[in-house]
């Protein structure tokens, strides 16, 4: 069945570009356009159930994208919204706010005519729409999640979960968290509810392009008793601090001769198309000497994190917490790690912070 899409954008050129991309795929069609958020709100108030997804610009006259999302939330109007945003610093922070308000995901606008004509932008739009609307792929009728499970399962051992040892309150601990689609909104639930005296440092890989992770970290820092920052090369791991991997880079943890741990941020090729990649973060923990590593896997497409946690399970004392299906925006990454037999706890999103705190303790 064809999925109906509403495009809300004040740029005639962008409306045409988006319409051409969407209508070229027979799974989707643009059935309505709006020139600003106020027009979009009226359409969604009267005919919201007609649309399977909404593509939303941020900077518009009369009512911008943030104001529209806030109004949809206030009026309890359900809509699957994909924000189409630029990388400008101001708009990056607004994009994070949009995700916090309930946007499904975002796509960065092309910065040049060549980018408009490239496949990257169109592929990203269609990928988001496919995931958001659960549209069947034309090529092989196989979902992204099914592909991820097929790739990951051969390297996992469902019965290989080691019994974890209990820790004293003085144990040397680390929390390593991975998430993707739906992750920014999930992090806004989890991180602000962790106590400021949490007895561990926190590493986070959230799949996100460069230019957005600092805005995400800054926003979470405003809301949280913990210190939250975008990780920089050479940062020293400290308890009570959350380090978010920099978009467009890979993040690893390295041990110094002094015994402390420092974060390494490197510009290198993507793995499985991911920059940053959670598997790389987890693999970097293989030779560390933490008493326990709490691995947390939240909502996200694909299976990133499972291969790395599988390796980690063979060498380290780990405790794995996964988000449940009911509260996941996309039940991909948590499902793959659960199906691999590596999960100690499956919990709802609003229970993740308590599960982490109970396992790690406070200082």
| Cα angle for residues 180, 185, 189 (degrees, 5° grid) | 115
DSSP 227-280: EEEE--TTPBP-TTEEEEPPTTSEEEEEE-TTS-EEEEEE----BTTBSS-HHH
Look at residue 119 in the predicted model and tell me its pLDDT: 86
Which of 314, 261, 303 is closest to 278 using CA atoms? 303
- Cis peptide leading into 226, omega within 30 of 0? no
Look at residue 144 in the predicted model and tell me its pLDDT: 43
Choosing from 85, 122, 180, 353, the catalytic residue is 180
Give per-residue pLDDT as tens, 260-293: 999 999 999 999 999 999 999 999 999 999 999 9
Q: Are 44 and 73 in contact (CB under 8 A)?
A: no
Choosing from 52, 122, 199, 207, the catalytic residue is 207
Q: Which residue has the higher pLDDT, 169 or 240?
A: 240
Give per-residue pLDDT as tens, 332-350: 999 999 999 999 999 999 9
List C-alpha distances in Å: 232 to 199, 236, 263, 307. 22, 9, 7, 25
Give per-residue pLDDT as tens, 172-220: 999 999 999 999 999 999 999 999 999 999 999 999 988 899 999 999 9
Choosing from 52, 304, 328, 353, the catalytic residue is 304
Q: What percent of the chain has pLDDT over 90?
A: 80
Cα separation, 121 vs 88, whole angstroms: 17
Look at residue 137 in the predicted model and tell me its pLDDT: 59
pLDDT beyond 90 at 114: no
The question of whether 207 is a catalytic residue gets the answer: yes
Give the lowest-confidence range in 114-118, 317-321, 330-334.
Answer: 114-118
Task: Give the count of beta carbons closer than 10 Å to the beta carbon of residue 95.
Answer: 29
List C-alpha distances in Å: 352 to 164, 193, 196, 214, 348. 19, 9, 16, 23, 7
- Mean pLDDT, residues 91-108: 92
Q: Which domains does the chain have, with CATH numbers?
A: 3-141 (3.40.50.2300), 151-360 (3.40.50.180)
Give per-residue pLDDT as tens, 38-83: 999 999 999 999 999 999 999 999 999 999 999 999 999 999 999 9
Q: If you average pLDDT over every residue of the chain, what do you get?
A: 90
The question of whether 180 is a catalytic residue gets the answer: yes
Cα separation, 31 vs 226, whole angstroms: 45
DSSP 3-state of 329 = coil
Look at residue 210 in the predicted model and tell me its pLDDT: 87
Cα separation, 360 vs 14, whole angstroms: 48
DSSP 3-state of 196 = coil
Q: Are 294 and 176 in contact (CB under 8 A)?
A: yes
């Amino acid at each position: 069945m064809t999925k109906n899409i509403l495009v809300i954008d004040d740029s005639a050129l962008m409306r045409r570009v988006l319409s051409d991309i969407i209508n070229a795929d027979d799974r989707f069609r643009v059935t309505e356009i709006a020139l600003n958020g106020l027009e979009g709100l009226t359409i969604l108030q009267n005919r919201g159930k007609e649309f399977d997804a909404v593509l939303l610009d941020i900077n518009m006259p009369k009512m911008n994208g943030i104001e529209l999302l806030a109004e949809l939330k206030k009026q309890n109007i359900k809509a699957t919204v994909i924000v189409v945003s630029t990388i400008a610093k101001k708009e990056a922070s607004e994009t994070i706010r949009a995700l916090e308000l309930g946007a499904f995901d975002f796509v960065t606008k092309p910065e040049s005519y060549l980018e408009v004509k490239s496949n990257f932008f169109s592929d990203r739009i269609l990928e988001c729409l496919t995931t958001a609307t659960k549209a069947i792929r034309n090529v092989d009728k196989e979902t992204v999640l099914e592909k991820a499970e097929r790739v990951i399962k051969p390297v996992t051992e469902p019965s290989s979960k080691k019994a974890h040892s209990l820790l004293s309150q003085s144990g040397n601990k680390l929390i390593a968290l991975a998430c993707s689609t739906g992750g920014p909104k999930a992090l806004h639930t989890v991180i602000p509810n962790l106590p400021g005296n949490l007895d561990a440092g926190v590493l986070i890989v959230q799949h996100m392009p460069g230019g957005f992770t600092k805005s995400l970290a800054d926003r979470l820092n405003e809301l949280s008793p913990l210190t939250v920052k975008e990780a920089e090369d050479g940062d020293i791991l400290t308890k009570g601090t959350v380090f978010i991997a920099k978009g467009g880079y890979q993040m690893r943890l390295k041990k110094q001769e002094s015994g402390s741990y420092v974060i390494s941020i490197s510009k290198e090729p993507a793995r499985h198309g991911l920059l940053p990649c959670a598997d790389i973060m987890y693999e970097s923990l293989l030779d560390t000497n933490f008493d326990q590593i709490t691995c947390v896997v939240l909502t996200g497409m694909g299976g990133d994190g499972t291969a790395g946690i599988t390796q980690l399970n063979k060498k380290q004392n780990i405790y794995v917490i996964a988000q449940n299906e009911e509260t996941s925006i996309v039940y991909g990454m948590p499902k793959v790690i659960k199906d691999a037999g590596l999960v100690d706890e499956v919990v709802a999103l609003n229970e993740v912070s308590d599960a982490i705190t109970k396992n790690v303790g406070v200082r």
